[in-house]
Amino acid sequence: MQDNQIITPTIEPKIQLNNLSKSAFGNDFVWGVAMASFQNEGAWNLDGKGESIWDRFSNKKFRIKDRQNAQIACDFYRRFEEDILIAKSLNFNTFRFSISWSRILPGGIGKVNPAGLEFYHQVIDCCLENGLEPFVTLYHWDLPQVLEDRGGWTNREIINWFSAYCEVVTREFSGKVKNWMVLNEPAGFVGLGYMTGYHAPGRMGMSNFLPAIHHAAMCQAEGGRIIRKNVPDAVIGTTFSCSFIEPFTQKPTDIQAAKRTDALLNRMFLEPALGLGYPVEELPFLNKMIKKYVQEGDMEKLAFDFDFIGLQNYFKIVAKNAWWMPYLGAAEVKPQKRNVKELTAMGWEISPDGMFQILNQLSQYQGIKQIIITENGAAFEDNFEEGNINDKDRVAFYESYLKHVLKAKQAGVKVNGYMAWTLTDNFEWTEGYKPKFGLVHVDFNTQKRTVKRSGKWFRAFLG
């Protein structure tokens, strides 16, 4: 593919790096882009793929804004080579993507779909041929619907189902893929999918939430063990969406509310993996989970010696005491209520210092060997100017966050990589196609890709 097929500007904007340099991060620092199977691939029922919970969920009325779905999405299934070549042209050295469980095992377990395996072989081969190290995520939220029909993450059998899926994938790709991630943001898919019902599969309540927590935590560690067994010299991680939590005031009640929020969002899955158990002191409701769903020997099996922890950071959270909130007794004070002006198009507070603070917080755990930022990015409106997309707010976002990543690294935090979310505009879960997170604009009517100013900024920065 020629470069002018990727970028069609009339007038190139001048790229300013403002004294931030790639070399300051060191020669071994990982630079990549991240994406997810459901949000990008499309081809939802082609070549033997089974239905996922997000296929089902996004085709229900009133679940997704503007009643959109991801049946085509970015058409990555057909256009993966184009997108990988774009990533190469922007000078990244890694490409993070996830594997669709239902594309590999349409029935969730049992018979393997050869066409699914072949697709990911092609993606991996394309990465390697173009000098991009593949980082593979085993589970990025798209559980096979047939397994959800049997209870999904609330059914303890999912430990066996997930293990069987991991066995198939890691054996198949062990000769090509060295870098693996087990789960993407378990607090996200468990909390939003099995407690609030805001995400697929749309279940609510503690009776769903509690077993899903424990079973996901068990799978997190078991997946790591299976990778270690099947992939020689594997580099194994798992990812957590973590935010720096700040109390609204210095009142003891708000300070305690912030600690409970931190335990729920940042610690609930991380600490079991580190052998520290669940944070029951701050979250007493977890005692009920332990009593009902934890079997003999489980607590020891929750731990796994990960080679790295993937940090996914988008905003900080300010919490206050809220007696009316069941179980947690805390509530977020939205940035709009605090008169914060620096917001993304999602209404999220832009807080690069929050990135520094959460990196520093994670560095206090002795069991964390290294941290790779596996997602960081922002949605902004794209401004079309003379044939270019001048997303200057996104450029400023990345520049400010990277400066604070560098600040953490220079302070001694073992942060060894950064992956931008995301390469192309995509299907943003319940928000549909309106939020634009990409370094590359996608016209969803024609699937034409156009590199934005932010993508060109990375090209200059990493060049």
How does 290-323 read in b/e, with b if 16+ C-beta sit within 10 Å? eeebbeeebeeebbbebbbbbbbbbbbbbbbbbe
Per annotation, catalytic residue among 41, 271, 375, 399: 375
Q: How far is 124 from 117, CA to CA, in rounded Å?
A: 11
CA angle 362, 368, 371 (to 5 degrees): 70
185 noted as active-site residue: yes
Is the dihedral angle over the CA atoms 75, 79, 80, 82 positive or is it negative? negative
Sorted by sequence, the CB contacts under 8 Å of residue 14 that are 6+ apart come out as none
Q: How far is 126 from 357, CA to CA, in rounded Å?
A: 37
Evaluate whether 206 touches 258 at the Cβ level (below 8 Å): no
Cα 258 vs. chain centroid, distance in angstroms? Answer: 23
- Which of 339, 452, 342 lies closest to 400 in space, CA to CA? 342
How many CA atoms, within 13 angstroms, populate the side-chain half-sphere of residue 268?
31
The three-class DSSP label of residue 179 is strand
Evaluate whether 358 touches 311 at the Cβ level (below 8 Å): yes
Sorted by sequence, the CB contacts under 8 Å of residue 361 that are 6+ apart come out as 242, 244, 266
Per annotation, catalytic residue among 185, 222, 271, 349: 185
Evaluate whether 35 touches 97 at the Cβ level (below 8 Å): yes
- Which of 176, 167, 102 lies closest to 132 in space, CA to CA? 176
Work out whether strand 330-332 and strand 317-321 pair parallel, antiparallel, or are unpaired.
antiparallel
- Which of 422, 381, 443, 438 lies closest to 75 in space, CA to CA? 443
271 noted as active-site residue: no
- Which of 411, 295, 302, 423 lies closest to 357 in space, CA to CA? 411
Sorted by sequence, the CB contacts under 8 Å of residue 339 that are 6+ apart come out as none
Evaluate whether 126 touches 178 at the Cβ level (below 8 Å): no
- Which of 89, 90, 83, 7 lies closest to 42 in space, CA to CA? 83
The strand pairing partners of 318, in sequence order, are 246
Question: Active-site positions?
Answer: 185, 375
